[in-house]
């Protein structure tokens, strides 16, 4: 099933580099990125509060750092903050080849992600009808295993592929390139140019109505999200083994390639 995909292949296939973020300078490029603010438990019963703080979102040496922070008050109560940035309303895309080079934190309860969400969820309806493309998720206590997933439909359905590496190549100690090619009627996931999942079957529906014409909902503008969750229903929660020292989600770059016509 493995098929190596390179930048040279993309260019030969008619792709052009349409947008890139190299995280240069010493602060987040707010012309292209939003910082989202959310309370603990906003989704998936996660523990972190998403905040706009240099403590949690930092750009240095050509890298974006999303940093989890644990705080313990005088009564021993623990709280957590982290970072979530998006391109919604600033850099939105319909179709393309999306990639980032990154490494993830290690520890029970960490869930870093590189993913796409519909810019306007009212086009086909709120999640999951609007669709979601998860290009990369790696559970912090399983750092040799990559998940690529799409969510859609009502009732909710998903399609997920996984890719595992040897311990010496794990996703926490090494940078890897995570990518997704999204074209009309097909979505394909890659890691380091290796294809590991493909999907062509999905649907979208509104309550009481027939399914909308294929390839809805994956035929509208989506935006990019980079975030680091702390705890949640799927990943589990930090425990005594989880370290908050030197554990970060580090992103080297994000690049989007597109064709002139699809």
Note the pLDDT of residue 223: 98
DSSP 205-250: B-TTSPBPPTTTTSSS-EEEEEEEEE-BTTTB---TT---SS--EE
Note the pLDDT of residue 211: 80
Contact 218, 94 (CB under 8 A): no
Annotated catalytic residue, options 49, 137, 181, 248 = 137
Note the pLDDT of residue 184: 98
Look up tokens 């990369």; give the residue: 136
Q: Which residue has the higher pLDDT, 155 or 42?
A: 42
For 194-249, the pLDDT digits (tens) are 999 999 999 988 767 778 899 999 999 999 999 999 999 999 999 999 999 999 99
> Mean pLDDT for the chain?
95
Indicate the range of 2-6, 27-31, 88-92, 150-154 predicted with least confidence: 2-6
pLDDT band at 96 (very low <50, low <70, confident <90, very high): very high
CA distance 182 to 221: 12
pLDDT band at 2 (very low <50, low <70, confident <90, very high): very low
Annotated catalytic residue, options 21, 99, 132, 154 = 132
Please state the rounded mean pLDDT for residues 63-89: 96
Note the pLDDT of residue 155: 87
Q: Any idea what DSSP says for residue 140? A: T
137 as an active site residue: the answer is yes
For 99-126, the pLDDT digits (tens) are 999 999 999 999 999 999 999 999 999 9
Burial letters 68-97, b for 16+ CB under 10 A, else e: bbbeeeeeeeeebbbbbbbbbeebbbebbb
- pLDDT at residue 3 tops 80: no
Is pTM beyond 0.85? Reply is: yes
């Amino acid at each position: 099933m493995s098929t190596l995909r390179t930048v040279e292949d993309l260019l030969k296939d008619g792709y052009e580099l349409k947008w890139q973020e190299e995280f240069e300078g010493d602060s987040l490029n707010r012309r292209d990125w939003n910082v989202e603010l959310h309370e603990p438990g906003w989704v998936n019963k996660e523990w972190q509060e998403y905040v706009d703080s240099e403590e949690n979102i930092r750009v240095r040496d050509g890298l974006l750092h999303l940093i989890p922070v644990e705080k313990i008050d005088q009564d021993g109560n623990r709280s957590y903050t982290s970072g979530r940035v998006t391109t919604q309303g600033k850099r939105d895309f319909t179709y393309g080849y999306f990639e980032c080079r990154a490494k993830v934190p290690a520890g029970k309860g960490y869930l870093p992600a590189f993913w796409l969400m519909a810019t306007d969820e009212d086009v086909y309806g709120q999640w999951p009808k609007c669709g979601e493309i998860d290009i990369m998720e790696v559970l912090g206590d399983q750092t040799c295993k990559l998940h690529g997933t799409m969510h859609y439909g009502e009732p909710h359905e998903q399609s997920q592929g996984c890719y595992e590496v040897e311990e010496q190549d794990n996703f926490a100690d090494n940078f890897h390139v995570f990518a997704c090619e999204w074209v009309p009627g097909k979505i394909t996931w890659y890691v380091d140019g290796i294809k590991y999942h493909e999907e062509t079957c999905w649907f979208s529906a509104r309550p009481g109505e027939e399914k909308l014409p294929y390839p809805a909902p994956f035929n509208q503008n989506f935006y990019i999200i980079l975030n680091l969750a702390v705890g949640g229903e799927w990943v589990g929660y930090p425990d005594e083994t989880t370290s908050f020292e030197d554990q970060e989600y580090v992103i080297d770059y994000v690049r989007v390639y597109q064709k002139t016509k699809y």
